[in-house]
A and B are shown apart, each in its own frame.
Chain A
């Protein structure tokens, strides 16, 4: 990471689009308005599980000002989903959670939409409801998806119901190793569903164009996947659909519909626009948003570990029950990730963990900031402290003892190229004052580590166009929700083309013009689009050098580009402006257009050969626990990360701080609460409870030097990993303060007080 050779990447200039955001001029999805638009609304199931006996829309259609009423009968008999294709756009035959879309209306005003929705008569035959992820697997549970088979890889002797994905993580001989262990610790941990709670509501707007094509505006993280779904679900050719992205007011995975069986409001909106023959816009209100969009899965995790007296871990067994909610959504991917991560990121020679992703009659789960990771880490890193306590060993020392070395394998990763885990542990321990800080009564100190995938996934491209004034436009398939496309990507183009960052524009996604992309998900914006942008900028630079070479009477290889000038290396006086070369290109090739790709297959092959360079992290905190109220106050919080080379420093810090805050929320207060009928009890901010400034400590972020990742300049993805350690770090600090181990989230005053009282400490 020879940082000195770079002049732009590694700094923290103002984000692209910053000014428009602070003056209120950014056009978010919710700020759209289309000429002659109708308002759209969705009728949602009031039962968590029921047969649909009949739907009568005749009265709704009679309401003056209503232009379309649609049900499943108005759309092709096509389902969608990620791994399991198990969901209709509008429910057909059955509803499976309280919020399942059943019908939709387009009308002249929101009031008329409401009136019409009330006049749709749906006759349901209620079925028994199953909400608990373990109960749903039992023989007596009702079946949610009669026509979906159990996973093919499920062993024949495993008798379960409502399982949509099974992940076996088996290696070595854990039974033998467990029998030979000096100490065995066996625990059960549980996390609840939480909502991503981005601030901007989900919207969709759709218009049928004069040529018959459909334009859909979406504040979605994966516009190309939305295109796929709109085309499939409406039964129209892909090339008849165009998706335009708006600014996104937050996403965190929750707006990644299209890549999951998510909220699916875009296809519904498109269907309404087709039927109404008018543009239609749907805006979800807060309560509807909270009950109907995709959220983070809850997980129940059985974890058992055998260790030798000297602290060497010898085996782990366990089981993950990962709650997908009513449809499989992103469950198979996230559940598999959670199952692998329950094996930890330490040396683990023998392991046997089975992961089951299950259906329940609850809201559908999708990818939320590190899908599967935060849940697993709560169990793994709390469990590490439980083992350390039983060993009588210091938690830091115990972790360092089991830290892998370069070339070692960990569960789910065949070979590590380099390992910064130990460095992050030591740095965090030092910063929090481990073993040194004097703690007052009721105060405790806690530490927890984490890792995240440098994930394989689809490739992606970039196009860099050089305008005749020397400025550039960058075309990628990723959207800017406060992440790399607005912060780091412009720096890369500026670095490689010797121009100011302000001369770079990253263009919003238009599926007619942007390179295909899987979406702004999975900590992959920098890895995929950053890599592609760098290569595209270098391609453009090579073309510019070729064009300038004759004029400068030099070989293209002898040229360099800096301060908007192309010049001969070592002879700065021999130079020509970038603008004049870009203008001269008009007469030759028209325009300099650089192309670059992130080649996923090549990256996977390289990682197989060289080993993977995972990002690692350690968080540590000091808390104060009130024995009178159970309230937990975080007094100090440090987050130490290896994310390789930070391309936009402030943005990397911002991602770490924001992700940490989300998990502090899940640790201390957040959960989606369901009553016995499956109704969401807290669909508002007041009832949901998420961190406000009052409960947040300052997040003290440190980036250790670490090792280069596979991203541009050695960057690693930074958007999700900070979600991994906080819950266990806080739980461990509470244990340190009180001697009470709490294994179910959230660590709310109520739950902490109850646990303290049960232990006779409150």
Chain B
């Protein structure tokens, strides 16, 4: 039994069918071809598949596509404005926070939501915002630097 899913991805209306058991991650990656959102643990533990779902960051691997009918979704592909990167994307590059880059889309989404909410995140805010994202390459030091740089730039402090 296939279901028809209507949703908005990065401002574009999309409609496609999915099985009731299909995860939103698989639906985005395999059906709608948004491959920037990454598959890793598939059990909601690592944050590589983080997307913005009706304004909130969620793990798309443990969300059903069927539940996303009518949802407004933003993926990593929806952040840049043409060739101009979102400040969070630019900050991750500038600080050397992108090593293998596999966790990066999930981080950038989590941080975008944080910085949309607050211009002056405390260290605790930063830690909380990305506590669900795992990175094995960086030891987190340069990721914290990237988040701080993005916050400063977005608030006009840097």
A651 sits at the interface (CB 8 A): yes
Q: Distance (Å) between the CB of A405 and the closest chain B CB?
A: 33
Residues of A within 8 A of B96 (CB): 12, 15, 650-651, 653-654
B66 sits at the interface (CB 8 A): no
Give the segment of A16-24, A704-712, A730-738 that binds chain B: A16-24
Contact B41–A21 (Cβ < 8 Å): no
Q: Distance (Å) between the CB of B80 and the closest chain A CB?
A: 5
Interface flags for B135-150 (1: CB within 8 Å of A; 0: not) read 1111111111000000
Contact B75–A24 (Cβ < 8 Å): yes
A660 sits at the interface (CB 8 A): yes
Contact B99–A199 (Cβ < 8 Å): no
Given A18-B93, A198-B136: A684 touches B141 (CB 8 Å cut-off): no
Q: Distance (Å) between the CB of B25 and the closest chain A CB?
A: 11
Contact B80–A286 (Cβ < 8 Å): no
B48 sits at the interface (CB 8 A): yes
Contact B137–A23 (Cβ < 8 Å): no
Interface flags for B39-52 (1: CB within 8 Å of A; 0: not) read 11111011010000
Contact B41–A22 (Cβ < 8 Å): no
Query: Residue on B with the closest CB to A696?
Result: B140
Contact A658–B137 (Cβ < 8 Å): yes
A664 to B76, CA, bound (A): 30
Contact A22–B38 (Cβ < 8 Å): no
Contact A660–B139 (Cβ < 8 Å): yes
Residues of B within 8 A of A483 (CB): 99
Give the total of A residues in contact with B, Cβ under 8 Å: 56
B103 sits at the interface (CB 8 A): yes
Contact A198–B38 (Cβ < 8 Å): no
Contact A23–B138 (Cβ < 8 Å): no
> Which residues from 112 to 131 on chain B have a C-beta closer than 8 Å to any C-beta of chain A?
127, 130-131
A335 sits at the interface (CB 8 A): no
A156 sits at the interface (CB 8 A): no
Contact B137–A685 (Cβ < 8 Å): no
Contact A31–B35 (Cβ < 8 Å): yes
Partner of A698, one of B34, B40, B79, B144: B144
Give the total of B residues in contact with A, Cβ under 8 Å: 50
A660 to B140, CA, bound (A): 11
Contact B131–A694 (Cβ < 8 Å): yes
Give the segment of A229-237, A248-256, A599-607, A619-627 that binds chain B: A248-256
Residues of B within 8 A of A23 (CB): 36, 76-77, 79-80, 85, 89
B60 sits at the interface (CB 8 A): no
A571 sits at the interface (CB 8 A): no
Query: Residue on A with the closest CB to B79?
Result: A23
A588 sits at the interface (CB 8 A): no
B67 sits at the interface (CB 8 A): no
Among B35, B45, B95, B100, chain A packs the most CB atoms within 10 A around the CB of B100
Partner of A24, one of B46, B77, B94, B99: B77
B105 sits at the interface (CB 8 A): yes
Contact B102–A661 (Cβ < 8 Å): no
A618 to B103, CA, bound (A): 29
A4 sits at the interface (CB 8 A): no
A98 to B87, CA, bound (A): 47
Contact A201–B40 (Cβ < 8 Å): yes
Given A14-B93, A653-B96: A21 touches B101 (CB 8 Å cut-off): yes
A31 to B94, CA, bound (A): 25
Q: Distance (Å) between the CB of B133 and the closest chain A CB?
A: 8
B151 sits at the interface (CB 8 A): no
Partner of B143, one of A28, A481, A693: A693
Partner of B136, one of A17, A197, A286: A197
Q: Distance (Å) between the CB of B88 and the closest chain A CB?
A: 8
Partner of B104, one of A12, A21, A651: A21
A26 sits at the interface (CB 8 A): yes
Residues of B within 8 A of A685 (CB): 41, 43, 45-46, 134
A696 to B101, CA, bound (A): 20
> Which residues from 658 to 686 on chain A have a C-beta closer than 8 Å to any C-beta of chain B?
658-662, 664, 684-686
> What are 29 of the A-B contact pairs (CB < 8 Å)?
A14-B93, A15-B93, A18-B93, A19-B85, A21-B101, A22-B101, A22-B104, A23-B76, A23-B80, A23-B89, A24-B36, A30-B38, A198-B100, A200-B40, A200-B100, A247-B100, A285-B42, A286-B42, A481-B99, A482-B101, A650-B142, A653-B141, A654-B99, A657-B139, A686-B45, A691-B140, A693-B143, A694-B127, A701-B141
The 6 closest A-B pairs by CB, nearest first: A24-B36, A482-B99, A249-B102, A661-B139, A21-B101, A650-B96
4 more CB-based (< 8 A) A-B contacts, given A23-B79, A661-B140: A21-B104, A692-B131, A699-B139, A701-B141
Residues on A facing B (Cβ under 8 Å): 12, 14-15, 17-19, 21-28, 30-31, 196-201, 247-252, 285-286, 481-483, 650-651, 653-654, 657-662, 664, 684-686, 690-694, 696, 698-699, 701
